Amino acid sequence: MTLLEVNNLKKVYTTRFGGNHVQALSNVTFSVEQGEYVAIMGESGSGKTTLLNTLAALDKPTSGEVLLNGKSLPDLKEKEISAFRRDNLGFVFQDFNLLDTFSLKDNIFLPLVLSGKTYDEMNRRLQPLAAKLGILELLEKYPYEVSGGQKQRAAVCRALITNPQLILADEPTGALDSRATDGLLRIFSEINESGQTILMVTHSIKAASSAKRVLFIKDGEIYHQLYKGSSSTETMFQKISDTLTMIATGGARNE
């Protein structure tokens, strides 16, 4: 089943004085099936964050369609957008986006508090997830008391606790050391194995090679894609690295 459908998406930013136009997305078309784990790669400025923001209805496209489960995001009314986002999407960011004055537990509860869940319900959801993510012992701590990897695991817990249809991650390993990166990628693979659909923007070849499919974006368009299939992570690493070299040197597109 197709979960996300993106058709001919275009985004042009116009500066405040109307003089400059930046075409961040020129024509992006792809879809994501339920249960997929897709990475999006591309050079800095290629439109990755713009794409994620548009998918999250944080930004409106200039033209084109974004359908999540057949529902058009750009057509949602302003009032419906935040509830839709809260109920259907989970976000993981490079810099964690945890509130420093809240314990990890309260950070994780935040999306549920906003949707009016009872404390019992919140706790019932939290326990198994926190155990799976290895943060049960840390729930009463504050973000500044734990490591980057632990903060990111709490952020993943916050993203998952609403049972979102889709996890959107923007450079989730960007601020992590290599050990914490490995831990986070293991978690992403595990939650994907148990059915969670993930779309992750990343610069890291290592992170991308843990995904099952990699889309390459160049000049605001999907330039190429690779399926992991039965290849090993090492083979995928090599293929991704070759594709990035090709993109950087402007080489021809070959399989």
Q: How far is the CB of 217 from Mg ion (least distance, A)?
A: 11
By beta-carbon proximity to ligand ADP, the closer residue of 106 and 219 is 219
Residue 46 interaction partner, one of Mg ion, ligand ADP, none, beta carbon < 5-8 Å per kind = ligand ADP
By the 8 A CB rule, do 177 and 148 touch? yes
Q: Tell me 47's DSSP state.
A: S
Report the interface residues with ligand ADP, using CB under 6 A: 13, 22, 24, 42, 44-50
62 interacts with Mg ion by CB under 5 A? no
State both tokens at 172.
């989730």
Q: How far is the CB of 228 from ligand ADP (least distance, A)?
A: 22
Residue 242 CA to residue 106 CA, distance in Å, equals 43
Q: How far is the CB of 48 from Mg ion (least distance, A)?
A: 5
Q: CA quadruple 41, 45, 47, 53: dihedral positive or negative?
A: positive
Q: How far is the CB of 117 from Mg ion (least distance, A)?
A: 32
Strand partners, 41: 216
Residue 47 interaction partner, one of Mg ion, ligand ADP, none, beta carbon < 5-8 Å per kind = ligand ADP
By beta-carbon proximity to ligand ADP, the closer residue of 60 and 179 is 60
Nearest-10 crossing angle of helices 119-132, 104-114: 130
Q: CA 234: distance to chain centroid?
A: 23
Residue 179 CA to residue 250 CA, distance in Å, equals 33
- Judged by CB under 5 A, how many residues of this single chain contact Mg ion? 2
Half-sphere exposure for 222 (CA within 13 Å, toward CB): 17
Residue 197 interaction partner, one of Mg ion, ligand ADP, none, beta carbon < 5-8 Å per kind = none
Q: Residue from 49, 62, 189, 238 that binds Mg ion (CB under 5 A)?
A: 49
Residue range at the interface with Mg ion (CB under 5 A); choices 44-52, 104-112, 119-127, 229-237: 44-52
Residue 254 interaction partner, one of Mg ion, ligand ADP, none, beta carbon < 5-8 Å per kind = none
Q: How far is the CB of 166 from ligand ADP (least distance, A)?
A: 18
Residue 185 CA to residue 151 CA, distance in Å, equals 14
Closest CA to 60 of 104, 33, 29, 25: 25
State both tokens at 106.
């309260």
Residue range at the interface with Mg ion (CB under 5 A); choices 30-38, 48-56, 89-97, 190-198: 48-56
- The residues of the shown chain that bind Mg ion, judged by CB under 5 A, are 48-49
